[in-house]
């Protein structure tokens, strides 16, 4: 006779619970970094370089110092006296905090002013006189390795050129042999342009050094507060226990808020020097010109194919433009992130990948933007290659995928680059997608439309993403192993507070983590408060990026709740006066196996933990779990897009978008759908309208929202989402896989494939993103590929 609670009713696993955080967000009651005002707080602004590459011959800040209301002017030389002119990056490189010798990209931080208000600070920045001696500029990898190229990083010993790394993975000899057996070799070269996460809230920090207690508190926009605490301890040489990093509400991160930026460091030093709180809030152009660029990678690939469509081998090379400093946050073993997750969902017998990273006179690039460390590039390349290969074989692209997918019975599947895929049903996802978009019908309509001179196209893209770094064996950042944590305290009245080492930026952790607790313990989700982002209270964790929260911190939430349940079971046995072995659990309640009517609720156990514990038992009901995942989780998705291209103008319109996402068990289906819609919107933006590029002088074209377009609800097409395929992760405690980035990762290729399918008759194999109308028009009109980013275009 079961009295188990209805899990959906208490807001457990699978409940589309409304987001608790939205109550404050939509009322304008969020507490963002810029909302915080501390007594005596001063304001900091940054002076940025107008030039991309130049020697600094002099900096005269005397006029700025004399402006009333100015408290401090920081320059590189002053930073140098404190050993803070340079800082280490998360990829074992160094980055200038404030420029001393040279500026290396347009927008680079040259000086800072701290004043009574931000307007005085901004005016004073303009009063600083900097003399520059311009140097030749490098804006792409070809220029970076050209003979006689200026060495950008002449500050570094043992850096004779602009090459950061050469990296390779896979089996070269085996791949070469497989190519000899090929019936057809399909080739493609493409550029994934620079893109910018561009969260609505820019970066910022408020540093508050208290001389009386020697404690430094920093409120800041960071996705990884504990890593920042460690970085500040090392860079500023402060004891770690005297540093408190608080990440309050974050207005979107998308990867932009993972790196350490000079503004953070300067505000901290300014607060230490002035012994007053110092606030730095970046403006939009500062954010767009200097922080967190992603992609900017040239990919060359070859696929060895058998006539019947089987992939025999893949060979690829990546040229990554990292800008002036190599500051990616990524697992240290992998110089080009997880780019080698490419082709993971296909049964490729053998593969080889080489990658070269180079410096250029651009802001640091290569950071992850809604991708698990370069997976966006990996999947884009894969799906564009697959489309090209199917075309070369004159095969239907759906059929080509079908024959090459890893089959259900092959899991766990080892990829040629060494990853172990946990689970999936790839073929089934594809069938659901094809049916939903009406694939066969569409092909008829397409043929009909062509007769009438109308260009319709359909693009397919699939993706599988390695989500959930660690395990700690393989994944670390600067040697810090990647795992995560959760701490759960159950109060005596059965209400609870949960804290994790992750940090929500809009993903809804306050809602979903409580659902996991509800699922494990039967406490109503609304009785569980979730807190993240304060290093003084949260257990140590690596933060939120790479959609690792559900796979790692979310798993820790399950595990800590199970520890609590184990102790509650002892309390239940004590209350029911039976031995623990005679106790059974059902959601929210322990009962006596032989007498199911006799039971106690989890709330009664909680009260007993403080008021009636058995002899010898430690009082209280709280615990912490650190979770080191055995493997990554591998969600899978199929995205299908139909478009109509206008021949005369090159403008293309989206007709339909179908998304089939299999992210294992969904904690909150509504939140998952929101994540997918957000990702598809970003995918559409990258494919259609976003272009941050650089002219030959290194001027950043696109550092404002007139050039770099953000789609609103008005431009964004509608989506049809499918959730019927669920393949639980076999190693995650509740079978969930990450999902936060899937659609941004897999989406772009669907749009590009659709446009290229519409103009297939022209023989054009590639148009690089963004598929702006002039580029599409050029391809249609001249029947040639349109590749690369200005100023280098393959046809120049
Ligand atoms: N979820 C779920 N069931 C699953 C998987 C996830 O209900 N099987 C829920 C989670 O509980 C969580 C959300 O979906 O509330 C996203 O979970 P997850 O996939 O674990 O991703 P993270 O929480 O680690 O979020 C990071 C991811 C990244 S890396 C970027 S970039 C991105 C993204 O999330 N940035 C975002 N989505 C974003 N969404 C918003 N609103 N703002 C950002 O900055
Ligand atoms: Cu990949 S951008 Mo998110 O990892 O913060």
How far does the centroid of ligand 2 lie from the alpha carbon of residue 331, in Å?
Answer: 13
For residues 492 and 613, is the Cβ–Cβ distance under 8 A? no
Neighbours of 324 (CB within 10 A): 27
Cα gap 531→513, rounded to integer Å: 10
Indicate the SS3 state at residue 80. helix
The pLDDT assigned to 792 comes to 47
At residue 349 the predicted structure's pLDDT band, cuts being 50, 70 and 90, is very high
**Two tokens, residue 652:** 């293309």
**Phi and psi, residue 474, nearest 5°:** -110, -20
The pLDDT assigned to 492 comes to 98
Instruction: Please identify, by atom number, the ligand 2 atom nearest to the C-alpha of residue 505.
Output: 5
The 8-class DSSP code of residue 35 comes to G
Q: For the segment 404-452, what is each residue's pLDDT rounded down to a tens digit?
A: 999 999 999 999 999 999 999 999 999 999 999 999 999 999 999 999 9
Residues near ligand 1 with C-beta < 6 Å?
A: 199, 252-255, 370, 505-509, 512, 544-550, 554, 663-668, 671-672, 675, 678, 736-741
Residue ranges with strand state E in 41-138 = 42-48, 54-60, 70-75, 86-88, 94-96, 102-103, 109-115, 129-134
More confident residue, 317 or 693: 317
**Element housing 286 (H / E):** helix 284-290
How far does the centroid of ligand 2 lie from the alpha carbon of residue 205, in Å?
Answer: 20
Q: Is the pLDDT of residue 796 over 80?
A: no
**Two tokens, residue 719:** 């989506």
For residues 204 and 279, is the Cβ–Cβ distance under 8 A? yes
Q: What is the DSSP string of 467-505?
A: BS---TTT-EETTEE--EEEEEEE-TTS-EEEEES---S
The pLDDT assigned to 531 comes to 98
Q: What is the DSSP string of 536-593?
A: TTSPP---S-TT-IIIIIIHHHHHHHHHHHHHHHHHHHHHHTS-GGGEEEETTEEEET
**Element housing 226 (H / E):** helix 225-235
Q: For atom 38 of ligand 1, which residue has the closest CA?
A: 507
Report whether the peptide linkage leading into residue 631 is cis, meaning its omega lies within 30 degrees of zero. no
At residue 213 the predicted structure's pLDDT band, cuts being 50, 70 and 90, is very high
Q: Indicate which residue of 45, 604, 741, 778 is catalytic.
A: 741
For residues 640 and 460, is the Cβ–Cβ distance under 8 A? yes
Instruction: Please identify, by atom number, the ligand 2 atom nearest to the C-alpha of residue 547.
Output: 4
If one residue of 295, 675, 728 were mutated to test the ligand 1 pocket, choosing by the most ligand atoms within 8 A of its CB, it would be 675
Indicate the SS3 state at residue 529. strand
**Two tokens, residue 200:** 């609505």
- Is 707 exposed, middle or buried, given 0-12, 13-18 or 19+ CB atoms closer than 10 A? middle
Q: Indicate which residue of 223, 382, 507, 603 is catalytic.
A: 223
Cα gap 262→550, rounded to integer Å: 30
Cα gap 349→311, rounded to integer Å: 8
For the CA of 372, the nearest ligand:
2
Answer left, alpha or beta for residue 373, where phi above 0 means left and psi between -120 and 50 means alpha: left
Cα gap 375→377, rounded to integer Å: 5
Helices 426-437 and 439-451: crossing angle, nearest 10°? 50
How far does the centroid of ligand 1 lie from the alpha carbon of residue 430, in Å?
Answer: 24
Q: Indicate which residue of 48, 370, 384, 589 is catalytic.
A: 370
Indicate the SS3 state at residue 415. coil
Instruction: Please identify, by atom number, the ligand 2 atom nearest to the C-alpha of residue 373.
Output: 1
- Percent of the chain at pLDDT > 90 equals 94
371 is an active site residue: yes
The 8-class DSSP code of residue 147 comes to T
Cα gap 692→702, rounded to integer Å: 5
How far does the centroid of ligand 1 lie from the alpha carbon of residue 220, in Å?
Answer: 20
Ligand 2 close to Cβ of residue 179 (< 6 A)? no
For residues 487 and 499, is the Cβ–Cβ distance under 8 A? yes
**Two tokens, residue 772:** 């702006």
Q: Is the pLDDT of residue 322 over 90?
A: yes
106 is an active site residue: no
Ligand 2 close to Cβ of residue 369 (< 6 A)? yes
**Element housing 659 (H / E):** strand 652-662
Indicate the SS3 state at residue 671. helix
Q: Indicate which residue of 125, 202, 345, 371 is catalytic.
A: 371
How far does the centroid of ligand 2 lie from the alpha carbon of residue 376, in Å?
Answer: 10
The pLDDT assigned to 795 comes to 40
Average pLDDT, the chain: 96
For the CA of 223, the nearest ligand:
2
Q: For the segment 140-191, what is each residue's pLDDT rounded down to a tens digit?
A: 999 999 999 999 999 999 999 999 999 999 999 999 999 999 999 999 999 9
Calculate mean pLDDT across residues 542-550.
Answer: 97
If one residue of 372, 477, 552, 679 were mutated to test the ligand 2 pocket, choosing by the most ligand atoms within 8 A of its CB, it would be 372
For residues 372 and 681, is the Cβ–Cβ distance under 8 A? no
Q: What is the DSSP string of 231-247?
A: HHHHHTT--GGGEEEE-
For the CA of 255, the nearest ligand:
2
Answer left, alpha or beta for residue 323, where phi above 0 means left and psi between -120 and 50 means alpha: left
Q: For the segment 696-737, what is each residue's pLDDT rounded down to a tens digit?
A: 999 998 888 888 899 999 999 999 999 999 999 999 999 999
Q: How far apart are the first and last CA of the chain?
A: 78
For residues 246 and 36, is the Cβ–Cβ distance under 8 A? no
**Two tokens, residue 656:** 């339909």
Placement of tokens 């564009």 in the chain: 384
How far does the centroid of ligand 2 lie from the alpha carbon of residue 142, in Å?
Answer: 28
If one residue of 482, 550, 667, 671 were mutated to test the ligand 1 pocket, choosing by the most ligand atoms within 8 A of its CB, it would be 550
How far does the centroid of ligand 2 lie from the alpha carbon of residue 593, in Å?
Answer: 47
Ligand 2 close to Cβ of residue 545 (< 6 A)? yes
Q: For the segment 93-136, what is each residue's pLDDT rounded down to a tens digit?
A: 999 999 999 999 999 999 999 999 999 999 999 999 999 999 99
Indicate the SS3 state at residue 422. coil
The pLDDT assigned to 791 comes to 58
Inter-CA distances, 32 with 383, 507, 538, 544, 782, Å? 39, 15, 18, 17, 51
Q: For the segment 3-56, what is each residue's pLDDT rounded down to a tens digit?
A: 889 999 999 999 999 999 999 999 999 999 999 999 999 999 999 999 999 999
Q: What is the DSSP string of 591-608?
A: EETTEEEEEEEHHHHHHH
Placement of tokens 């689970």 in the chain: 423
Ligand 2 close to Cβ of residue 250 (< 6 A)? no
Q: Is the pLDDT of residue 790 over 80?
A: no
648 is an active site residue: no
Cα gap 537→105, rounded to integer Å: 39
The pLDDT assigned to 341 comes to 98
How far does the centroid of ligand 2 lie from the alpha carbon of residue 372, in Å?
Answer: 6
For the CA of 252, the nearest ligand:
1
If one residue of 547, 670, 674, 677 were mutated to test the ligand 1 pocket, choosing by the most ligand atoms within 8 A of its CB, it would be 547
Q: Is the pLDDT of residue 488 over 50?
A: yes
605 is an active site residue: no
The pLDDT assigned to 235 comes to 84
- Give 776's contacts (C-beta < 8 A, 6+ positions apart): 645, 650, 651, 652, 755, 759, 767, 786
For the CA of 675, the nearest ligand:
1
Ligand 2 close to Cβ of residue 255 (< 6 A)? yes
Q: For the segment 593-627, what is each residue's pLDDT rounded down to a tens digit?
A: 999 999 999 999 999 999 999 999 999 999 999 99
Q: For the segment 51-100, what is each residue's pLDDT rounded down to a tens digit?
A: 999 999 999 999 999 999 999 999 999 999 999 999 999 999 999 999 99
Q: Is the pLDDT of residue 789 over 90?
A: no
How far does the centroid of ligand 2 lie from the alpha carbon of residue 639, in Å?
Answer: 20
Length of the chain (residues):
796
For residues 322 and 105, is the Cβ–Cβ distance under 8 A? no
β-pairing, 278-281 vs 42-48, is parallel
Instruction: Please identify, by atom number, the ligand 2 atom nearest to the C-alpha of residue 546.
Output: 4
Q: For the segment 625-672, what is each residue's pLDDT rounded down to a tens digit?
A: 999 999 999 999 999 999 999 999 999 999 999 999 999 999 999 999
How far does the centroid of ligand 2 lie from the alpha carbon of residue 257, in Å?
Answer: 9
């Amino acid at each position: 006779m079961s009295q188990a609670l209805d899990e959906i009713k208490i807001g457990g696993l699978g409940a589309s619970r409304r987001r608790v955080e939205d109550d404050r967000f939509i009322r304008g009651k969020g507490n963002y970094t810029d909302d915080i005002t501390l007594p005596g707080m001063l304001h900091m602004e940054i002076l940025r370089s107008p030039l991309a590459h130049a020697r600094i011959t002099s900096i005269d800040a005397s006029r700025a110092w004399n402006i009333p209301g100015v408290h401090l002017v920081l320059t590189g030389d002053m930073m140098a006296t404190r050993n803070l002119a340079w800082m280490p990056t998360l990829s074992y490189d160094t980055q200038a905090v404030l420029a001393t010798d040279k500026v290396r990209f347009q927008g680079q931080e040259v000086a800072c002013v701290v004043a009574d208000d931000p307007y005085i600070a901004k005016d004073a920045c303009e009063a600083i006189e900097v003399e520059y001696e311009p140097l030749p500029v490098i804006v792409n990898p070809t220029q970076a390795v050209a003979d006689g190229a200026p060495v950008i990083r002449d500050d570094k010993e043992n850096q004779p050129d602009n090459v950061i790394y050469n990296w390779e993975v896979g089996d070269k000899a085996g791949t070469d042999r497989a190519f000899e057996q090929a019936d057809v070799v399909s080739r493609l070269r493409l550029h994934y342009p620079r893109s910018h996460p561009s969260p609505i809230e820019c970066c910022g920090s408020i540093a508050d050094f208290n001389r009386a207690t020697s404690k430094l508190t920093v409120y800041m926009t960071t996705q990884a507060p504990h890593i920042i605490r460690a970085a500040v301890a090392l860079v500023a040489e402060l004891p770690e226990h005297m540093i408190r990093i608080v990440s309050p509400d974050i207005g979107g991160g998308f990867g932009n808020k993972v790196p350490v930026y000079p503004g953070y460091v300067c505000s901290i030093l300014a607060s230490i020097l002035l012994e007053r709180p110092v606030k730095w809030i970046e403006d939009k152009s500062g954010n767009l010109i200097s922080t967190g660029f992603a992609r900017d990678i040239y990919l060359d690939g070859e696929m060895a194919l058998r006539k019947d469509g089987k992939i025999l081998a893949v060979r690829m090379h990546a040229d990554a433009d990292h800008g002036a400093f190599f500051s990616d946050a990524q697992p240290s073993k992998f110089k080009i992130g997880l780019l080698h997750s490419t082709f993971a969902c296909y049964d490729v017998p053998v593969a080889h990948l080489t990658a070269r990273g180079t410096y250029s006179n651009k802001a640091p690039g290569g950071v992850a933007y809604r991708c698990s460390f370069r997976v966006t590039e990996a999947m884009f390349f894969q799906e564009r290659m697959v489309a090209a290969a199917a075309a070369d074989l004159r095969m239907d692209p759906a059929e080509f995928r079908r024959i090459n997918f890893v089959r259900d019975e092959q899991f766990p599947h080892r990829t040629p680059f060494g990853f172990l895929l946990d689970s999936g049903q790839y073929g089934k996802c594809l069938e659901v997608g094809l049916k939903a978009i009406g694939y066969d019908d569409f092909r008829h309509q397409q043929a009909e439309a062509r007769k009438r001179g109308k260009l319709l196209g359909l693009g397919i893209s699939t993706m599988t993403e390695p989500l959930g770094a660690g395990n700690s064996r393989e994944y670390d950042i600067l040697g810090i192993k990647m795992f995560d944590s959760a701490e759960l305290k159950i109060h005596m009245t059965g209400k609870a507070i949960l804290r994790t080492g992750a940090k929500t930026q809009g993903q809804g952790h306050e809602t979903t983590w409580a659902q996991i607790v509800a699922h494990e313990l039967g406490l109503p989700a609304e009785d569980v408060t979730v807190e993240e982002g304060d290093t003084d209270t949260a257990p140590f964790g690596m933060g939120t990026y790479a959609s690792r929260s559900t796979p790692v911190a979310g798993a820790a939430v399950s595990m800590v709740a199970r520890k609590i349940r184990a102790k509650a079971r002892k309390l239940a046995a004590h209350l029911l006066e039976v031995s623990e072995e005679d106790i059974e659990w059902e959601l929210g309640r322990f009962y006596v196996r032989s007498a199911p009517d006799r039971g106690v609720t989890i709330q009664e156990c909680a009260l007993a933990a403080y008021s009636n514990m058995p002899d010898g038992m430690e009082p209280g009901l709280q615990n912490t779990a650190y979770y080191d995942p055995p493997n990554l989780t591998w969600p899978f998705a199929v995205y299908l897009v139909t478009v109509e291209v206008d021949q005369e103008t090159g403008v293309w319109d989206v007709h339909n978008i179908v998304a089939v996402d299999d992210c294992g068990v969904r904690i909150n289906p509504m939140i998952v759908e929101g994540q997918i819609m957000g990702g598809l919107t970003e995918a559409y933006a990258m494919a259609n309208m976003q272009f941050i590029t650089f002219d030959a002088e290194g001027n950043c074209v696109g550092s404002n929202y007139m050039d770099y377009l953000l789609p609103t609800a008005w431009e964004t097409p509608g989506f049809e989402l499918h959730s019927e395929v669920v393949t639980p992760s076999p190693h995650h405690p509740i079978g969930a896989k990450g999902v936060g980035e899937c659609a941004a990762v897999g989406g772009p290729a669907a749009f590009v494939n659709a446009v290229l399918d519409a103009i297939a008759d022209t023989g054009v194999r590639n148009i690089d993103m963004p598929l702006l109308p002039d580029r599409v028009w050029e391809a249609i009109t001249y029947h040639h590929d349109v590749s690369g980013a200005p100023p280098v275009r393959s046809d120049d």
